[in-house]
């Protein structure tokens, strides 16, 4: 043990962490419930400084993407992190805090003492989180991950934010887990596609003619981008974006000074508009709404985001729709419903996704082709569905939510329930969206509100806005207010009065 004096006890606040360093190693000190503890200082998800996060209800919440860790031992409570925090031995010598420069040993892989086989269909955010959670929770049986893509699960969120902006190559797209993890945790990755599912026989049928029996299975196939139903949509410069391969296709075509026409005003559509504009393309958005994201963020924030795009040269068409893509072997223009022709070199569609459930026709599906699950995310005996394909009860109402973090929360709940628990989704949905260097955080899933209050101005961050219904916070949106949103991510799990929320934020 090699201890280093890093701080005085009196310097460690009780409402947040204190970052200290031993050489190049960053460590966060936490003072909670009268105890002092030391953990790794950066979030294992994306490296956020945990000292900038919030301490609330016995949890440390990451400032960037709201992963949560138990303050007693650093155990993972909420994704998008997939690992618990490394803990460092600590001693108090009078008022001095001394910390070892080596963390305590990590937990071991569960012994292979379980004869069951669990299959996870889909290796994206949800599937990877489920596999990690099963091992974390002690499952020692066989885990098979089945996915159409050859690569292990990777962070799709960077594709529209950074890859299309030229700030990151597709090869640099971060894997959710490295190869060593799959090997050490005895997780079998197989490339393949499901053609049919027999839930009563607990059998998956694969496109190569093989069958796969399971004791429990999780369906985590995610969403598929909606294709354009327009003449000319089959031209080679018409794209959607969901995978690394699709990002590579776009980047092989896109060049500065080209004209990009983006159809749709979804979050991914406008993130792509931001990225391609930063790459140097001339970008026009054919939008369904004059104010983007008003249904989620309200009109003030929606107007501010549109103005941000326009300040960077993005043009909007909001009063007419694209009726045809024109070109002889390649995209040359689009034709609007008023007969106006708009020149274009490439077209990118961001008109939403649909649940990738075509192979599950034997299961009852909703009108949108999603799978209805119960409060424990169960479809039927031995079968669960999570993430984009699941319609699940939220506050008593069936909902389907296409959020990265929520899919991972589903994954952890399903993993626990596969092992005999009875956990339900009782959290607060959260997502983030990136436009021209600004990150907008959103908490909640509000379909209606009767008041919106702001601290700061949406046009000039930092700002935070609270959406209230009958005096209770139902959603929050913010830019550059990471710690306040981290606190709200935990406190909004229980009814939170608007007045109390503002006291928290001011505190």
H-helix or E-strand spanning residue 418: helix 404-418
Per-residue pLDDT of the chain (507 residues; tens, 9 = 90+): 789 999 999 999 988 899 999 999 999 999 998 899 999 999 999 999 999 999 999 999 999 999 999 999 999 999 999 999 999 999 999 999 999 999 999 866 788 889 999 999 999 999 999 999 999 999 999 999 999 998 889 999 999 999 999 999 999 999 999 999 999 999 999 999 999 999 999 999 999 999 999 999 999 999 999 999 999 999 999 999 999 999 999 999 999 999 999 999 999 999 999 999 999 999 999 999 999 999 999 999 999 999 999 999 999 999 999 999 999 999 999 999 999 999 999 999 999 999 999 999 999 999 999 999 999 999 999 999 999 999 999 988 999 999 999 999 999 999 999 999 999 999 999 999 999 999 999 999 998 999 999 999 999 999 999 999 999 999 999 999 999 999 999 999 999 999 999 999 997
* DSSP single-letter state for residue 473: E
Pairing of strands 223-225, 438-444: unpaired
Starting from the edge strand earliest in sequence, which strands make up the sheet with 96-100, in order? 3-8, 96-100, 90-93
* DSSP β-ladder status, 371-372 and 390-394: parallel
Residue 131 is predicted with a pLDDT of: 98
0.75 cut: is pTM over it? yes
CB 429 within 8 A of CB 296: no
pLDDT value of position 150: 86
What per-residue confidence (pLDDT) applies to 359?
96
- What is the pLDDT, as a whole number, of residue 102? 95
Cβ–Cβ under 8 Å, residues 242 and 353: yes
Look at residue 236 in the predicted model and tell me its pLDDT: 97
Per-residue pLDDT of 189-219, as tens digits, reads: 999 999 999 999 999 999 999 999 999 999 9
Chain center to CA of 36 = 31
Burial level of 404, CB count in 10 A (0-12/13-18/19+)? Answer: buried
pLDDT, tens digit (0-9, with 9 covering 90-100), for 225-257:
999 999 999 999 999 999 999 999 999 999 999
DSSP β-bridge partners for residue 91? 98
- In order of 149, 189, 220, the CA distances from 205 in angstroms are 17, 17, 16
Question: Can you tell me the distance from the alpha carbon of 176 to that of 68, in angstroms, rounded to the nearest whole number?
Answer: 17
Beta bridge partners, 194, equal 206
The full DSSP string for 89-125 is: -EEEETTEEEEESSPPPPPPPPPS----EEEEE--SH
* Separation of first and last alpha carbons in the chain: 39
Whole-angstrom distance, CA of residue 59 vs CA of residue 44 = 16
Helix-helix angle 267-279:294-311, to 10 degrees: 10
Q: Which domains does the chain have, with CATH numbers?
A: 3-100 (2.102.10.10), 117-224+354-419 (3.50.50.60), 238-351 (3.50.50.60), 437-506 (3.30.390.30)
How are strands ordered across the β-sheet holding 333-336?
322-326, 333-336, 341-343
pLDDT at residue 122, as a whole number: 97
Residues whose CB falls within 8 Å of the CB of residue 324, separated by 6 or more in sequence, listed in order? 230, 231, 232, 334, 335
Nearest to 273 by CA among 246, 292, 290: 292
Task: Say which DSSP state 193 is in.
Answer: -
Whether 205 and 197 have beta carbons less than 8 Å apart is answered as yes
pLDDT of residue 375: 97
Residue 381 has phi, psi (to 5 degrees) of -55, 120
Residue 13: CB atoms within 10 Å = 13
Q: How crowded is residue 394: how many other Cβ atoms within 10 Å of its Cβ?
A: 18
DSSP annotation of 33: T
Handedness of CA 243, 246, 250, 252 (dihedral sign): positive
What is the tally of helices (H) and strands (E) in the chain?
9, 38
C-alpha span between 129 and 441 (Å, rounded): 22
Token duo for residue 358: 């075509």
């Amino acid at each position: 043990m090699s201890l280093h004096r890093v701080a005085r006890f009196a310097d460690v606040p009780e409402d947040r962490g204190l970052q200290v360093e031993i050489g190049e190693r960053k460590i966060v000190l936490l003072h909670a419930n009268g105890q002092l503890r030391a953990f790794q200082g950066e979030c294992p998800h994306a490296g956020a400084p945990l000292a900038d996060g919030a301490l609330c209800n016995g949890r440390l919440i990451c400032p960037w993407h709201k992963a949560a860790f138990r303050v007693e031992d650093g155990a993972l409570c909420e994704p998008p992190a997939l690992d618990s925090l490394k803990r460092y031995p600590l001693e108090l010598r009078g008022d001095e805090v001394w910390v070892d420069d080596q963390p305590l040993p990590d937990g071991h892989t569960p012994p292979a003492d379980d004869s069951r086989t669990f299959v996870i269909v889909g290796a994206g955010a949800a599937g990877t989180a489920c596999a990690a959670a099963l091992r974390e929770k002690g499952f020692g049986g066989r885990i098979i991950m089945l996915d159409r893509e050859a690569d292990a699960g990777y962070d799709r969120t960077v594709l529209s934010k950074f890859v299309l902006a030229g700030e990151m190559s597709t090869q640099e797209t971060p894997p959710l887990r490295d190869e060593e993890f799959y090997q050490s945790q005895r997780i079998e990755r197989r490339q393949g596609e499901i053609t049919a599912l027999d839930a009563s026989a607990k059998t998956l049928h694969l496109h190569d003619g093989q069958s796969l029996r399971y004791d429990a299975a999780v369906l985590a196939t995610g969403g598929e981008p909606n294709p354009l139903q327009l003449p000319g949509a089959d031209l080679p410069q018409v794209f959607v974006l969901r995978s690394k391969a699709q990002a590579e296709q776009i980047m092989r075509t896109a060049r500065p000074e080209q004209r990009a026409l983006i159809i749709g005003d979804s979050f991914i559509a406008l993130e792509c508009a931001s990225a391609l504009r930063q790459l140097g393309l001339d970008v026009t958005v054919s939008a369904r709404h004059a104010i983007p994201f008003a249904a989620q963020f309200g009109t003030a924030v929606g107007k501010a985001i549109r103005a941000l795009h326009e300040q960077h040269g993005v043009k909007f068409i909001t009063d007419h729709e694209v009726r045809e893509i024109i070109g002889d072997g390649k995209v040359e223009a689009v034709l609007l419903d008023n007969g106006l022709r708009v020149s274009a070199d490439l077209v990118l569609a961001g008109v939403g996704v649909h649940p990738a459930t075509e192979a599950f026709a034997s299961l009852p599906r909703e009108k949108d082709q999603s799978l209805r699950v119960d409060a424990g995310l169960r479809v039927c005996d031995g079968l669960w569905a999570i993430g984009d394909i699941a319609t699940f009860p939220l506050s008593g109402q069936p909902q389907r939510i296409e959020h990265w973090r929520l899919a991972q929360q589903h994954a952890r709940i399903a993993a626990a329930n596969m092992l005999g628990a009875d956990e339900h989704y009782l959290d607060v949905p959260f997502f983030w969206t990136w436009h021209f260097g600004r990150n907008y955080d959103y908490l909640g899933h509000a379909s209606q509100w009767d008041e919106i209050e702001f601290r700061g101005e949406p046009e000039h961050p930092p700002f935070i806005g609270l959406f209230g219904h009958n005096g209770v916070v139902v959603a929050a949106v913010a830019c550059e207010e990471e710690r306040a949103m981290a606190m709200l991510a935990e406190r909004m799990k229980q009814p939170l009065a608007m007045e109390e929320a503002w006291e928290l934020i001011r505190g």
